Amino acid sequence: MHKFEFVNRNYEMLEQQEKPKQFTYSDEKDHKKKPRWRKFTLTVSVLALFIIGIAVYFAKRENHSIVTETAGSGADKMPGNGNGSTSEKTPSGQLPAAGLSAEFEPEVMNEGAKASYKLALEVKGENQFAASAEIDVTNTSETNWNNLSVYFFPNQFGDLARDQCRRKIVTFAVDKCLQEIGEGETAIEKVTFNGEELPYDLQGVQLKVPLKLALSTGKSGKLAITYTFSLPGNLIENDEYNLLQWHPILPGYEREWLLHPLAIGKDTYSSFPSDITFSYNLPGKMQVVTSGTEPDSQSSSDTVAGKNLKEMFVMILNRHQMIKAQAGETEIRIFATAKQKAQAAEALKTAKEAVAFFEKKLGGYPQQQLDIVLTETRQGNYPGVILQPGTIVEDKFSYFETNESQEHLLVHQIAQQWFYGNVHFERHTDLWLNDGLSELAASLFFLVGKKKSEEESFAFAKKFNEFSIMREEVKSNMPADQYVGSFGGIVGHVQAKPAILLWELIKPYGDETALAFLSDYLKTYSGKKLATIEFIHFAKDYLKVDNHAFTGWLHYNPYSDYDMSDFYNL
């Protein structure tokens, strides 16, 4: 069971005099939704706080020139976050030694399901694909299953692309975009379970298959799906096909399937590590880049495999050149067009330095091979594969420019290979455990590995600092779809805020302790599932701080009904 002792059953922080009581994650399903009037009150309150925040922001800017930061080694006081949180000093006046206590025991979560995949893909013609997926599933939850539900993204490839077009302001730009996007269609041919064809319900990205007989705890079965699909125009570039989440993905299970709504600008679906085998058949001289390990010279048909993968990402390239290098035990390959030759060389240099640094400081790379594909504008991070754009498109929902550099973006995406590749969590609510910790690791790479100043190393995160990330009502572990409308957007609150506040917490111990903290976190939770509340459990023990170090920027209740959607829809 998943027991925790430092908050009560309402996920509220314990007072000094309260006695800790164990409770489990199962309690969250018993919470009642808040009455409608409370949501209305919340909306009015947040609006008022927003107006006050703007006034405070400009006041702070006016007084900024006369406000100075206390200089020194930082060993006298552990920085807090406005709540008076300090680390207890030892009798000698020194900070207590950082590190996990001998009594610390991690409390991790059950995935609720186990799976292995056998996938197949054939290119039937220009932008025409035939696919099949066999998923051997095992029920490891405490509940019998009366249905199987999976993510099935091909059903919405076209819709999601057209939604992006409709966000354009000028009518002719919308029409032009829709014309260029095209359709992007999918058709399911057959769904079977243990060889028996079954009806199914396909709504959005969720494919639900009712079972004739419930699959009880500990039992297994085989789900098989055959289908065809095509891609919208925005996923085709330089004769390359970006298949994104092309195959069915089984989510975790906790009394229900953990299928979450999509969020703008971030991948927030989650699955658990599985063994995946992938067979393909390509025409001509096309080449495939996958999450598995493949040889440099490829045939038109082959099979690749990967262990402990959360998905099998696939990209089909045409006429791309490859350069590669070795960093420790990891092979790094860069795929680029002829006109991207200079960018490819620079990307390989940066990747080699970053991978070597992270392997030394954080532990071994989760895969054997890291493939980096240079694109025009698309970026993305998947098991063993990174998409690095030639032109970085600003997050239009953060409401100010960040001017992110190519080097920073690539290092951040490489760090994500550790923090999402090794550890599992629900990205819909705990995305910061990937983006925030990766941003801290990337900043430490520039500080320690590249010997840059602290100002330069944390420059990207600190651009969000003065106003956007200091708003305590916008936490870093809210549901991902609720950041639309917040100043700083999902990047500011999920990526920048955690990196800055954790660095302020650890800085008195030094940069090497910060890297050791991240390394020990990965060692503790590698191959396991956790939530924000368990990270707090870990960090409190490691850094010897109290609850107040986190209450300003994290929700203790990962299952809260907290909802600001009414405010953002005003």
pLDDT in tens, the chain (570 residues): 344 444 544 444 544 455 544 444 333 333 333 444 444 444 545 555 555 555 544 444 444 333 333 333 333 333 333 333 445 555 556 889 999 999 999 999 999 999 999 999 999 998 999 999 999 999 999 999 999 999 999 988 766 555 555 555 455 555 555 555 566 789 999 999 999 999 999 998 999 999 999 999 999 999 999 999 999 877 787 778 999 899 999 999 999 999 998 877 788 999 999 999 999 999 888 999 999 998 888 788 999 999 999 999 999 998 899 999 999 999 999 999 999 999 999 999 999 999 999 999 999 999 999 999 999 988 999 999 999 999 888 766 555 677 899 999 999 999 999 999 889 999 999 999 999 999 999 999 999 999 999 999 999 999 887 655 566 778 999 999 888 877 788 888 999 999 999 999 999 999 999 999 999 999 999 999 999 999 999 999 999 999 889 988 998 754 433 333 322 222
Is 265 a domain residue? yes
Residues 501 and 436: their CA atoms lie apart, in Å, by: 10
Is 297 a domain residue? yes
Is 450 a domain residue? no
Q: What is the pLDDT of residue 236?
A: 83
Is 232 a domain residue? yes
Q: What is the pLDDT of residue 44?
A: 46
Amino acid found at 67: V
- What one-character-per-residue DSSP string does 489-531 give? HHIIIIIIHHHHHHHHHHGGG-HHHHHHHHHHHHHHHTT-B--
The crossing angle, in degrees rounded to 10, of helices 511-525 and 432-444 is 140
Centroid of chain to Cα 120: 26
Q: What is the pLDDT of residue 377?
A: 86
Q: Whole-model pTM? A: 0.81
Q: What is the pLDDT of residue 93?
A: 62
Is 156 a domain residue? yes
Q: Which residues, 6+ apart, have CB-to-CB distance to 136 below 8 Å?
A: 115, 116, 117, 118, 220, 221, 222
Q: What is the pLDDT of residue 90?
A: 55
Q: What is the pLDDT of residue 84?
A: 34
Q: What are the phi and psi torsion angles at 228 (to 5°)?
A: -125, 155
Is 524 a domain residue? no
Centroid of chain to Cα 190: 32
Domain carrying residue 307: 108-318
Residues 347 and 406: their CA atoms lie apart, in Å, by: 8
Residues 416 and 310: their CA atoms lie apart, in Å, by: 13
Q: What is the pLDDT of residue 319?
A: 84
Structurally, the chain folds into a number of domains equal to 1
Is 215 a domain residue? yes
Question: What CATH number has the domain bearing residue 204?
Answer: 2.60.40.1730
Q: Which residue shows structure tokens 């730009």?
A: 173
β-strands 330-336, 369-375: how paired?
parallel
Q: Which residues, 6+ apart, have CB-to-CB distance to 115 below 8 Å?
A: 135, 136, 137, 138, 250, 272, 274
Is 393 a domain residue? no
Nearest C-alpha neighbor of 241 from the set 321, 131, 318, 319: 318
